[in-house]
Amino acid sequence: MDFLKWVVLILVSTSFCWVPISSNLQNPKDLGKDYLSYAKRTELVEWMVGIRRRLHENPELGYEEFETSKLIREELDKIGIPYKHPIAVTGIVGSIGTGRPPFVAIRADMDALPILINQIVAVQEEVEWEHKSKVPGKMHACGHDTHVAMLLGAAKILQDHRDDLEGTVLLVFQPAEEGGGGAKVMIEAGVLENIDAIFGLHITNTSPVGTVTSRPGPIMAGSGFFEAVITGKGGHAAIPQHTIDPILAASNVIVSLQHLVSREADPLDSQVVTVAKFQGGGAFNVIPDSVTIAGTFRAFSKESMEKLKQRIKEVIAGQAAVQRCNATVNFSVENKMFFPATKNNEELHEHFIKVAGDMLGVRNVRDRQPLMGSEDFAFYSELIPAYYYFLGMSDESIGELGHPHTSSFSVNEDALPYGAALQASLAARYLSEALSNKSIHAPKVNTHDEL
Q: Domain containing 166 — which CATH number? A: 3.40.630.10
61 & 186 share domain: yes
Q: How many domains does the chain have?
A: 2
Q: What confidence tens digit (pLDDT) does each residue in 388-422 have?
A: 999 999 998 888 888 999 999 999 999 999 999 99
126 & 213 share domain: yes
Burial class (CB in 10 A: 0-12, 13-18, 19+), 8: middle
Q: Domain containing 226 — which CATH number? A: 3.30.70.360
61 & 143 share domain: yes
Domain boundary among 330, 353, 378: 330
365 & 326 share domain: no
Q: Pick the residue with more confidence: 250 or 17?
A: 250
Position 448 in a domain: no
Position 175 in a domain: yes
Using the predicted structure, report yes or no on whether residue 111 has a pLDDT greater than 60. yes
Domain boundary among 330, 359, 380: 330
Q: What confidence tens digit (pLDDT) does each residue in 258-307 have?
A: 999 999 999 999 999 999 999 999 999 999 999 999 999 999 999 999 99
233 & 370 share domain: no
Count the neighbouring beta carbons within 10 Å of the beta carbon of residue 439.
11
What integer is the mean pLDDT of 238-250?
97
What pLDDT was estimated at residue 451?
Answer: 27
56 is in an annotated binding site: no
Contacts of 44 (CB under 8 A, 6+ apart): 38, 153, 156, 157, 417, 420
Position 391 in a domain: yes
Q: What confidence tens digit (pLDDT) does each residue in 159-202 have?
A: 999 988 999 999 999 999 998 999 999 999 999 999 999 999 99
What pLDDT was estimated at residue 331?
Answer: 95
178 is in an annotated binding site: yes
286 & 373 share domain: no
The answer to whether 110 and 69 are in contact (CB under 8 A) is yes
Position 451 in a domain: no
| DSSP annotation of 263 | I
Position 445 in a domain: no
What pLDDT was estimated at residue 183?
Answer: 98
H or E segment at 380?
Answer: helix 378-383
155 & 283 share domain: no
H or E segment at 429?
Answer: helix 416-434
142 is in an annotated binding site: yes
Q: What confidence tens digit (pLDDT) does each residue in 2-55 have?
A: 555 555 444 444 433 333 333 444 577 889 999 999 999 999 999 999 999 999
Position 403 in a domain: yes
Contacts of 350 (CB under 8 A, 6+ apart): none
Domain boundary among 310, 330, 350: 330
290 & 373 share domain: no
Query: What domain range is 311 assigned to?
Result: 222-330
Burial class (CB in 10 A: 0-12, 13-18, 19+), 251: middle
Write down the pTM of the prediction.
Answer: 0.88
Position 449 in a domain: no
72 & 96 share domain: yes
349 is in an annotated binding site: no
Position 21 in a domain: yes
211 & 247 share domain: no
288 & 364 share domain: no
253 & 365 share domain: no
325 is in an annotated binding site: no
Residue 83 to residue 159: CA distance in whole angstroms:
13
